[in-house]
Amino acid sequence: MAAPPTIPRRGLFIGGGWREPALGRRLPVVNPATEATIGDIPAATAEDVEIAVAAARDAFSRDGGRHWSRAPGAVRAKFLRAIAAKINDRKSDLALLETLDSGKPLDETNADMEDVAACFEYYADLAEALDEKQRSPISLPMENFKSHILKEPIGVVGLITPWNYPLLMATWKVAPSLAAGCTAVLKPSELASLTCLELGAICIEVGLPPGVLNIITGLGTEAGAPLSSHPHVDKVAFTGSTETGKRIMTAAAQMVKPVSLELGGKSPLIVFDDVDIDKAVEWAMFGIFANAGQVCSATSRLLLHEKIAKQFLDRLVAWAKNIKISNPLEEGCRLGSVVSEGQYEKIKKFISTARSEGATILYGGARPQHLRRGFFIEPTIITDVTTSMQIWREEVFGPVICVKEFRTESEAVELANDTHYGLAGAVISNDQERCERISKALHSGIVWINCSQPTFVQAPWGGNKRSGFGRELGEWGLSNYLTVKQVTKYCSDEPWGWYQSPSKL
Ligand SMILES: NC(=O)C1=CN([C@@H]2O[C@H](COP(=O)(O)OP(=O)(O)OC[C@H]3O[C@@H](n4cnc5c(N)ncnc54)[C@H](O)[C@@H]3O)[C@@H](O)[C@H]2O)C=CC1
Ligand SMILES: N=C(N)NCCCC(=O)O
Ligand code: NA
Structural domains present in the chain? 10-17+36-262+466-486 (3.40.605.10), 266-447 (3.40.309.10)
Residue whose CA is closest, atom 32 of ligand 1?
224
Per-residue DSSP letters for 110-133? Answer: HHHHHHHHHHHHHHHHHHHHHHHH
Where does residue 258 rank: exposed (0-12), middle (13-18), buried (19+ CB within 10 A)? middle
d(CA 386, CA 399): 19
Task: Specify the DSSP element, H or E, that contains 356.
Answer: helix 341-356
Distance in Å, CA 296 to ligand 2 centroid: 7
Q: Which of 107, 297, 338, 396 for a ligand 2 pocket mutation test, highest count of atoms within 8 Å of Cβ?
A: 297
Residue nearest (by alpha carbon) to ligand 2 atom 2: 455
Rounded distance from Cα 75 to ligand 2 centre (Å) = 29
Contact 11, 19 (CB under 8 A): yes
The residue whose C-alpha atom lies closest to atom 6 belonging to ligand 2 is 295
Atom of ligand 2 nearest to the CA of 115: 1
Alpha-carbon distance 181 to 62, whole Å? Answer: 13
C-alpha 330 – ligand 2 centre gap (Å): 23
Give the number of whichever ligand sits closest to the CA of residue 102.
Answer: 3
Distance between Cα 363 and ligand 3 center (Å): 28
| Catalytically annotated residues | 262
Ligand nearest to the CA of 259: 1
Question: Against a cut of 0.80, is the pTM above it?
Answer: yes
In 53-175, the DSSP E strands lie at 136-138, 145-153, 156-160
pLDDT reported for residue 251: 97
One-letter identity of residue 211: G
CA–CA separation, 400 vs 314, rounded Å? 16
Does the beta carbon of 158 sit less than 6 angstroms from any atom of ligand 1?
no
- In order along its 505 residues, the chain shows pLDDT tens digits of 555 568 999 999 999 999 999 999 999 999 999 999 999 999 999 999 999 999 999 999 999 999 999 999 999 999 999 999 999 999 999 999 999 999 999 999 999 999 999 999 999 999 999 999 999 999 999 999 999 999 999 999 999 999 999 999 999 999 999 999 999 999 999 999 999 999 999 999 999 999 999 999 999 999 999 999 999 999 999 999 999 999 999 999 999 999 999 999 999 999 999 999 999 999 999 999 999 999 999 999 999 999 999 999 999 999 999 999 999 999 999 999 999 999 999 999 999 999 999 999 999 999 999 999 999 999 999 999 999 999 999 999 999 999 999 999 999 999 999 999 999 999 999 999 999 999 999 999 999 999 999 999 999 999 999 999 999 999 999 999 999 999 999 999 999 999 999 987 6
Which contacts qualify for 493-502: CB closer than 8 Å, 24 or more apart?
A: 494/144
Nearest bound ligand to the CA of residue 41: 3
Instruction: Output the CA 25–ligand 3 centroid distance in Å.
Output: 17
**Structure confidence at residue 504 (pLDDT):** 72
Ligand 2 in reach of 61 Cβ (< 6 A): no
Q: Is the CB of 242 under 6 A from ligand 1?
A: no
Any atom of ligand 2 within 6 Å of the Cβ of 88: no
56 ligand 2 Cβ < 6 A: no
Q: What is the distance in A from the centroid of ligand 2 to the CA of 489?
A: 45
CA dist 422 and 474 (Å) reads: 20
Q: Could you identify the atom of ligand 2 that is nearest to the CA of residue 454?
A: 3
Name which residue sits closest to atom 4 of ligand 2, judged by CA: 455
224 lines ligand 1 (CB under 6 A): yes
ipTM at complex level? 0.96
Residue pair 148/135 in contact (Cβ under 8 Å)? The answer is yes
